[in-house]
Amino acid sequence: MDYKSSGVDIDAGNEVVRRIRGLARGTHTPGVVSDLGSFGGLFHLGARGYRDPILVSSADGVGTKLRVAFLTGVHDTIGVDLVNHCVNDILVQGAEPLFFFDYLATGRLDPDVAVQIVGGLARGCRENGCALLGGETAEMPGFYADGEYDVAGFIVGAVERERLIDGRAIAPGDVLVALPSSGLHTNGYSLARSIAFDRLHLKVSDRVDELGMSIGDALLTPHRSYLPIVRPLLESRAGVIKGMAHITGGGITDNLPRVLPKGTEAVVRSGSWDVPPVFRWLERAGGVPREDMLRTFNMGVGLILVVRPVDAAPVLASLGGEGRVIGAITSGPSEPRVRYED
């Protein structure tokens, strides 16, 4: 016996590295001082000109959205999802991304699929000005079914200490400004798949007229990055944003309280933003209670900014018409919470 006959193809792994090296190099920024294939990625923080930087890091995956990728055979958007999710997670503290690592694990390495995934990662990194500095590809026979894989991302960014956004200054009277999502992003897919494929017995290629596309395309819509639209506010109006919440698993209900000080409550006005058709369709087709919808999906709100009332108008102007005031901060119980009002 040899390693290949036991399920691990070293040559396939080397072929993947050879094919993705150019993709990774295409994301490199001035701070990168190592090449793909090193034992560790090297990054010179001083090359970005920070005076008193605080590093901000995060790690995440894309959950069971991967199942939709398996069913459709479309793998080039998963990497975009992963990068944008991680970028948003550090953006809420005011950080811009510096570099990104990925971990790809599969039962049998398919170089073509791996290159599609990394191609999506590279695209996401380029669009966010983030270097794809390295990663790990693990071939693990017996752990994953044929054609299946898992992927995770790890990001490091930086923010000047004086521009760190931590929510501590949030106070009653402040305004909630919401930015729209592009769809489900990367959360709620276990429920969405159960409704579409188990309850309704749809195939990924089936068109849903209410959505104007196939259910597979609707569910694979990439997770949006909010860095491009928020960056001007971070650069030109430092301090105007008191807090930000990335609306992921748990919805507005569970994510907004994460940035609120004790003794405050977020009052969110139901109906103050447009709920995209995909959520209305899932709610009706699955008979899902509204409370569960609000705790499972983003419901069309991907990012919430907390600002002073006097700053709301200039913030909305900077957001180019995409922002929507959906509520305000009031005094509340010791533990922060969200309350919905009609």
Q: What is the DSSP string of 59-99?
A: EEE-TTHHHHHHHHT--TTHHHHHHHHHHHHHHTTTPEEEE
pLDDT of residue 12: 75
Report pLDDT for 34. Answer: 85
Q: CA 121, CA 137: separation in Å to the nearest integer?
A: 13
Residue corresponding to tokens 């995440």: 60
pLDDT at 236: 79
Q: What is the pLDDT of residue 251?
A: 97
Domains of the chain: 10-163 (3.30.1330.10), 175-341 (3.90.650.10)
Task: Give the model's pLDDT for residue 294.
Answer: 97
Of 88, 82, 90, 95, the C-alpha closest to 151 is 82
What pLDDT sits at residue 337?
96
**Closest by alpha carbon to 85, among 104, 102, 67?**
102
Question: What pLDDT score does 4 carry?
Answer: 65
H-run or E-run covering 112: helix 111-128
CA atoms within 13 A on the CB side of 74: 16
DSSP code of 196? I
Q: What is the pLDDT of residue 150?
A: 97
Q: Map tokens 């971070």 to a residue.
A: 234
Neighbouring CB atoms inside 10 A of 38's CB total 11
Q: With the C-alpha atoms ordered 241, 247, 252, 254, is the resulting torsion angle positive or negative?
A: negative
Q: Are 129 and 222 in contact (CB under 8 A)?
A: no
Across the strands, what pairs with 101? 134, 154
CA angle 258, 299, 165 (to 5 degrees): 30
The conformation of residue 210, written as its DSSP 8-state character, comes to: T
Distance in angstroms (rounded) separating the CA atoms of residues 63 and 274: 25
pLDDT at 3: 58
State residue 5's pLDDT score: 63
Residues of the chain predicted below pLDDT 50: none
pTM here is 0.94
